[in-house]
Amino acid sequence: MHSKMLRYRKASRPTFDEGERQDMTRELIELRSALSDINVFLHAERQQVSRLHAENEQLQLANLEAEKKVSMLLTLSGLTEGELKVFLRDARRTTIVKQRLPPHLRMLHNKLREDLPKPAPGHPEESDEELILKAEINSLKKQLQESKRNWQCEKDALLQDRTLVASENKLQVSKDEAHINLLTARLEESQNLVTETIQDSLKSKSKMQDLEMKWLAEKDYLLSVLASMEENMSLVSHLEAIGRSGSYTDLTKTKSTCELKDLRRENELLRTEMAEAEDLRAVYESQCLQLEQKMCKLREEKEASEQMFKERNQKLAKQIEMLKEENMKLDERRKTDTRGFQSSIRLLKEDMKTVVHQMYKLTMAFSGDTIPVDFTVLNEMQAVATLVRAVQNTISEARRRALRGRVTLSILESYR
């Protein structure tokens, strides 16, 4: 029985640790998947913010260049901002009316045209501003394509990492399932051993109770025999006197002496059996006490393991709360960045409007009412406005991604 208890103890010892390890591995897998999703989202947000910063810097540089041009033109013209006034219109929807130059300006214009080198046939002449704008547009396109290519490569790498992590998690789950099956088999074996030990202990208790009942019955019988013997002490003393004298005339008296000897032998045998039964009872009592102590220890170990599991679960919940707080802080920072971008875009729009006003005023001031309006500057401003719209679209896309990240976080919380 003691060997069975030892076997049960060896078989049931790893069950609590394995169950706890299994729960912890599952929670760690869920947390790793959640962290990978959060890392992907944060990487996308960082890429978006860096791209917006680059576009903002480019717009600021363009604004500075336009301001320099306007200031140079103002210094050349000698006009002030209070003297200028312009109304914005779409250059593509207006009909350009050709106007005639005065004679002295016409002569100067023809002379300058004759002095300029003629362009090659088949290649239209392009101004320096158009070439600069085309070069800037090509550089911006290349930057956007490069950033898009880098983002796509990083996205593919992150998705590949995620698939690898998912496959590793699947392998870990399969290993855990096999380990769980092994542990369930061990648990069943240990339960069978426990049932066998309990049955053996119950049988031993029933046997001990039967022995106690027999011992009590024999004790009562012996006490009755002793009482009868005390009553017949006179007869015994008489028989002893006869034995000393050597006169054995009465056969009935000799029979009684033989019976008395047999009773004494039986009494001695019963006393030895009673002592052995008492020793066995003490042994069984000590074994029962040891079994009870072992059961108490097992219960205490189980309670301690449950308490440790609860504490670890609380720690994991605290870590998840900290991750949520960090995500909220990042979301607030992203909101502040978007607000700053919106304000800078608004300021850029206002600056562009002022630049357009000033350029139109300068053209009108130089030409008077006879020179046709050159709309290249207005086309440049329209290109800048399209860039501003593209930045606004990227900001709206960043908001959508942030909302998707929130939805994924809510889904992870529901799984938790």
Q: Give me the pLDDT at residue 305, please.
A: 82
Q: Report which listed range, 226-230, 306-310, 357-361, 411-415, is most confident.
A: 306-310
Q: Give me the pLDDT at residue 352, please.
A: 75
The model carries a pTM of 0.27
Alpha-carbon distances of 388 from 90, 149, 395, rounded to whole Å = 17, 22, 11
- In this predicted model, what pLDDT tens digit does every residue of 303-333 receive, in sequence order? 888 888 888 888 888 888 888 888 788 878 8
pLDDT at 245 over 60: no
Q: How many Å apart are CA 235 and CA 320, to the nearest integer?
A: 97
- In this predicted model, what pLDDT tens digit does every residue of 60-91 receive, in sequence order? 778 778 877 777 776 666 555 554 544 444 44
CB-based contact 239:257 (threshold 8 Å): yes
Would you tell me how many other CB atoms lie within 10 Å of the CB of residue 8?
21
**What type of residue is 62?**
A
Alpha-carbon distances of 170 from 130, 166, 175, 259, rounded to whole Å = 59, 6, 9, 86
Instruction: List the alpha helices (DSSP H) in 94-127.
Output: 103-115
Alpha-carbon distances of 296 from 291, 292, 293, 300, rounded to whole Å = 9, 6, 5, 6
Average pLDDT for residues 281-294, to the nearest whole number? Answer: 82
**What type of residue is 368?**
G
> Where exactly are the structural domains of the chain?
2-90+128-208+300-415
Q: Give me the pLDDT at residue 410, please.
A: 73
Q: Which of 55, 69, 53 is nearest to 380 (CA)?
A: 69
Q: Give me the pLDDT at residue 87, please.
A: 40
Q: How many Å apart are CA 408 and CA 68, to the nearest integer?
A: 48
Q: How many Å apart are CA 143 and CA 137, to the nearest integer?
A: 10
User: Mean pLDDT of all residues in the chain?
Assistant: 72
Phi-psi region of 294 (alpha: psi -120 to 50; beta: other; left: phi over 0): alpha
